[in-house]
Amino acid sequence: MLCYNDRAMRDGFIKVATASPRVHLADCRSNADCIISTARLADQRGVKLLVFPELSLTGYTLGDLVQTRDLLEGALEALGLVCDATRDLDCLLAVGLPLADRGKIYNTAAVIHHGRPLAFIPKSHIPTYGEFYEGRWYTAASKELGSVRFRDEDVPFGTDIIIRCSDIHAFSVAFEICEDLWTVTTPSERHARAGATIIANLSASDELIGKDDYRRSLVVMTSARLLSAYIYANAGEGESTTDMVFAGHSLVAENGSLLAEQFLGGGGLLETEVDVSFLESERMRHSTFELLDDGHLYVDTHFNITKTWLTRSYPRFPFVPADKGVVEKRCERIITLQALGLKRRLEHTRTRTAVVGLSGGLDSTLALLVTVKAFDMAGLDRGGIHALTMPGFGTTGRTRNNAQVLAEDLGVSFEEVDIKESVRLHFSDIGQDEAVHDVTYENAQARERTQVLMDKANMLSGLVIGTGDLSELALGWATYNGDHMSMYAVNASVPKTLVRHLVSWFASADFSGAGAVLADILDTPVSPELLPANEDGTIAQVTEDLVGPYELHDFFLYYFVRCAFSRDKVRRLALRTFEGVYEEAVIDKWLDNFFRRFFSQQFKRSCLPDGPKVGSVTLSPRSDWRMPSDAIDALWRR
């Protein structure tokens, strides 16, 4: 059940942290003092879950001292000190200690909240190799649930225990210990399928050359595979260096993304926020993620609902990787996928001809470049690609000339078909005043161009290649049965912010010697050029002045469609991400416009032509986005 009193908790952000304070081997009281001071700091900073390393109350590298009665009792006394000192804290703590029960010793995580131990979680897999042969001292836990007596209270004991927030069950935490993560079948798999959205690991993993890379990959991929957050707290300074070195390599990952990482914590906190509502929605989207409750015990506890201040950042361009090297590889991969899709369609239809409406703008440029690549891959003559430029009432000399130069540089067939007289005749037929620059004036040009392309394709026994992109489809910024229609839409799953990077990649590679004209196309304002140009011949109709900045709309699109975030959550992230770039009122204006257009224009998306899927967000009505054309937008408008 959601708590609706606080916006932050509805958004699902939970502040979590790891800590690797300097351990004092066998000095349980000193370790307790360090844990207490760190917990108080974390609580002051709004942390709701704080994870300490394996055996953090005693130290991991104790050897046979673990079997001594004094140490075992000292660990329990230290646990009591931690409980007493954290009664007024709202932070859920996980600390490690050796726990003796019925003649066996267990490597255990004690989970504490408001001064009470909620559960003891024993380690499932005990390593029997390496410098520390844990099987000498510890017993592997079974899946059977039991209890341990602590301070006259029976505390649940077992591996399959999940701690939940009584107000927000999406905040569900399960625990495993070090080696449990490195095994073929991990406890975390069971925990995730039983509903845990956060897996916390108390670890003491030594350092070797290359082990940090493996550990990082293991944590990140586990979070991706389990659709969970994974918090890994590792032992650091103070552990014995007789045969090993511990560097406190701690990590927090969420659904395949590394959120935070540090070495040599030195007592400091590794903090970030995990988004449990996002994780829950991801599991809803994945039909293969099946919940399986095979006997887990759920322990509910109450948290004080407070504002979660975000420290994690979100990319301004979620469709474009931040790393330049990654961008280049991604661009090459996307273009290859687009071209492969078109190549297959050409082969299936036994077509050796393609028709592209080339305006001199970004979208049609990318469509032509992809078509050229597809023809090259299929071993077809580029002369079979027919680029048509169709000047209308708003076409500028710059875009018209760029279209011709691009076609010539690429070695494709080029033809100009001036549509102005045809449109005027159409205006006469329907009684449209050419002086009235309304939607009919604009759309008549777009539909005339599509008619020319379709008929030309019939003449040449070819396919009309669509040029519209994902951002335009989301906003419905396309003329129904005009540029909205084609025979294969190669850009249908490519958002506008990514289109620019793809064309830029072609330009930097100087594809077929077209680098210079591509650079000028990239510098041209985005426009449908359906209204007369300015007196100086420049573009009068700038798309982003009319519908809003595409960087905002692509941001809204990604977090609404891909992540299923609420309107308020999308707004919250946009305000944080674009702080200093756009005023709050500007973001609100275009966010409202995005949802208004997204809902009202679904009818255009309900009958889209085929096109290749190249990313995780598409609006194809046949697979990725199914929505009635008459859905009401009231919940998403303010």
- Give me the active site residues, please: 54, 123, 178
Give how far Cα 153 sits from Cα of 294, 332, 601, Å: 26, 62, 61
Nearest to 494 by CA among 360, 315, 336: 336
The kind and range of the H/E element at 468 are: none
Amino acid making up residue 550? Y
- Tokens coding 404: 């011709």
E runs forming strands in 267-370: 269-275, 297-301, 354-357
Nearest to 570 by CA among 583, 559, 581: 559
Q: How far apart are CA 322 and CA 282, in angstroms?
A: 23
Nearest to 362 by CA among 553, 509, 543: 543
**For residue 356, with 0-12 CB atoms within 10 Å meaning exposed, 13-18 middle and 19 or more buried, which class applies?**
buried
Give buried/exposed letters for 362-383 (b at 16+ CB in 10 A, else e): bbbbbbbbbbbbbbeebebebe
Q: How far apart are CA 191 and CA 172, in angstroms?
A: 10
Q: How far apart are CA 167 and CA 153, in angstroms?
A: 25
Distance, C-alpha 73 to centroid of its chain: 46
Q: Are 66 and 108 in contact (CB under 8 A)?
A: no
Q: How far apart are CA 330 and CA 328, in angstroms?
A: 5
